[in-house]
Amino acid sequence: MFNSLLMDLMFVVLIGVGSQWVAWRTRMPAIVVMAIAGLLVGPIFGWINPQQSMGDLYGPIITFAVAIILFEGSLNLDFKEIKGFGRPVARIVTIGAFIAWIAGSLAAHYIAGLSWEVAFIIGGLFIVTGPTVILPLLRQARLKPRPAAILKWEGIVVDPFGALLAVFAFETIKFINDEVTAKAMMLFVGASLFSVFLGWGTSRLLGSAFEKGRIPEYLKAPILFGLVLFVFVLSDEIMHETGLLAVTAMGMTMANMRLTTLQDIRHFKENISVLLISGIFVMLTASLDPHILIEILNPKIVLYVLAMLFIVRPLSIWLSTIGTDLTNRERTLIGWIAPRGIVALTVSGYFATILLDNGYEDAELLTALTFALVFSTVVVHGFSIGWLAKKLNLTTPEESGVVLIGSSRFVAELAKNIQEAEHQVLVVEDSWGGLSNARKIGLPTYMGDILSEHTGYHLDLTPYRYILAMTKVDVYNSHVCADFTPDLGRDLLFQTSTHKRSAGQQFNLTTGQFLFTPNLSINELEERMTSGFVFRKTLLTNQYSYTQYLRERDDQSILLYIMRADGELEFYTAEKELQAQTGDTIVTLSTPNKTIERTIDRLEGKDGKSNVKKEMVETKFSEEPTNEKPAIPGEAPPKISKTAE
């Protein structure tokens, strides 16, 4: 429709990011939305064809994008975290991957009709289970910790190695077919070792320069990605297809160097990765020939997909986990769930071109085969994981844990109060200093940005039902609620009130529910803590009703939440008026005056005589040093904050 390279590039970017947004709003897998969009603007309506308009640039663009995507994925391979999951993960990512490679290759040859060369290459690539697809499925299904952890780490560890295994298969088959000599094969092995050394050495040098401050902050991300492309191209020029190995080794090395600077550039690299994944996926689908869509319905391809779903995957999991402590129910679930993701699609397109250039005509089927497998696994596993997990009793019960995002003393004290009510809590902040208040009183914490993709890889949010965004940045609080709305629903997302810009005006940014009654900003809540407000709990009884409590409570007190008699939590908001019953507990942030009065009542006998002078009690609870310095962040809370009624 448009005979313009610039117009095609604009469409690719716009459709790619637009598809990501539609997927977020509709809670559909992004890969499905992007595929549909690419097919509509490409082979169906014929509006764009990136491969034709880009010409010779099409291949290098795809190759560069795959290199950066694999590097970004390998940055999540922190082996210190993997060790905690024991033998099952190690078996699945080694023995299981090998079995899946061999079985998948046999299926590709005998069922799909591919030549041995192409079958073993595509079999190696299809061992991947894309983390970009499986992580949303895990959040949706609420699996128990162990099967969820195994599936998550399998996706992260195996994903970068699928392409490398395909490269190894390609070179090995050429050697077996006498297309290359033993000397050339040894040269490939040597070049592979050199690429690993190049990636490792570059990471060590760059990491040292980052940590010693030899590179300014604004140049860190550009230099990092510039060197990624340099390492990839240099390795690939020395020996074709070793560039992917080099950038993977580079990413793995940096992931295990514990570089603090990676936290600073994480947003940038994730944004680049999302943009590349979106754009490249649309480019691949929009460049498809219409006959490939028809080829997907080929009986051989359909049978191959069924074999991968019902034979290859279960077989690899059951055989590789013999002798481990996995139960049969866990093996059944893990053996069924294996969605393929965007990396499989992008790399298969890369190898399809290489194989066709080397004379393997049946490689034309690779794109159709890959699309059929990816779409089938994403849709089938996406709709079945929750149902199967429930049938196998591998879902967690409906938890009422609370994630609190913020660094203030109020956030830490609220989390401590909820924890004392026997609910799980987690305080999240993006700096160690910001977590000092929570760490001082022994609360579970996580340092990281809750909106980061890296956090999604490493933080299990399954036990937590509520998210309370209470940072001092209103826009960020709104973004947190917006980001988790598709997964949790708005009823479980809360944020503190926005700051007032002028009299009677507030930022109109909220996507979560405004917390507490009255709803106050986090700064106002922190001021109450500084002025001596304390957390108070009031149990409703037959003699003391909710109506009486509301009538008698201090006008300055802030209603925080109700802990129901059955343990359920309900937070007060500006949108919903809560009702409480006998057996419920009301939690408020109140002035110490009520605490003083009740202490006096307890000290007085039934005859009304006091054993301690009232003036002494008032002094004990109400004296607030006027010349004292403000509370230091991280300081342990005053004992008065633990007073409960």
| Backbone angles phi and psi of 319, in degrees to 5 | -70, -40
Rg (CA), the chain: 29
pLDDT at 302: 92
Asked if pLDDT for residue 631 goes beyond 50, the answer is no
Q: Is the torsion defined by CA of 427, 429, 434, 435 positive or negative?
A: positive
pLDDT at 595: 52
Alpha carbons 293 and 239: distance in angstroms, whole number: 34
Alpha carbons 348 and 338: distance in angstroms, whole number: 17
Nearest one of 151, 136, 132 to 461, comparing CA atoms: 136
Asked if pLDDT for residue 98 goes beyond 80, the answer is yes
What is the rounded average pLDDT of the residues 119-146?
Answer: 76
DSSP string, 561-614: EEE-TTS-EEE-BSS------TT-EEEEEE-HHHHHHHHHHHHB-TTS-BSS-H
Asked if pLDDT for residue 620 goes beyond 50, the answer is no
Name which residue leads in pLDDT, 179 or 537.
537
Alpha carbons 59 and 51: distance in angstroms, whole number: 8
Alpha carbons 435 and 428: distance in angstroms, whole number: 7
Domain ranges for the chain: 63-391, 401-642
Beta bridge partners of 447: 429
Asked if residues 339 and 317 have their Cβ atoms less than 8 Å apart, the reply is: no
Name which residue leads in pLDDT, 636 or 517.
517
Q: Residues 79-95: pLDDT tens digits?
A: 666 665 668 888 898 89
63-391: CATH number: 1.20.1530.10
- Please state, in angstroms and as integers, the Cα–Cα distance from residue 359 to each residue in 113, 115, 370, 415, following that order: 16, 12, 20, 64
59-68, 140-149, 253-262, 429-438, range with greatest mean pLDDT:
429-438
What is the rounded average pLDDT of the residues 528-550?
Answer: 88
Q: Could you tell me the pLDDT band of residue 177, with boundaries at 50, 70 and 90?
A: low
401-642: CATH number: 3.40.50.720
181-185, 280-284, 324-328, 459-463, range with greatest mean pLDDT:
324-328
pLDDT at 397: 61
- Please state, in angstroms and as integers, the Cα–Cα distance from residue 245 to each residue in 67, 126, 432, 490, following that order: 9, 17, 34, 43
Alpha carbons 194 and 644: distance in angstroms, whole number: 66
Average pLDDT, the chain: 79
pLDDT at 279: 82
Q: Could you tell me the pLDDT band of residue 618, with boundaries at 50, 70 and 90?
A: very low
Asked if pLDDT for residue 391 goes beyond 60, the answer is yes
pLDDT at 628: 41
Alpha carbons 225 and 493: distance in angstroms, whole number: 36
Alpha carbons 31 and 424: distance in angstroms, whole number: 34
Nearest one of 268, 344, 308 to 100, comparing CA atoms: 308
Asked if pLDDT for residue 460 goes beyond 50, the answer is yes
Exposure string for 299-336, b = 16+ CB within 10 A, e = fewer: eebeebbebbbeebbbebbbbbbeebebeebbbbbbbb
pLDDT at 627: 39
Name which residue leads in pLDDT, 428 or 275.
428
Name which residue leads in pLDDT, 596 or 332.
332
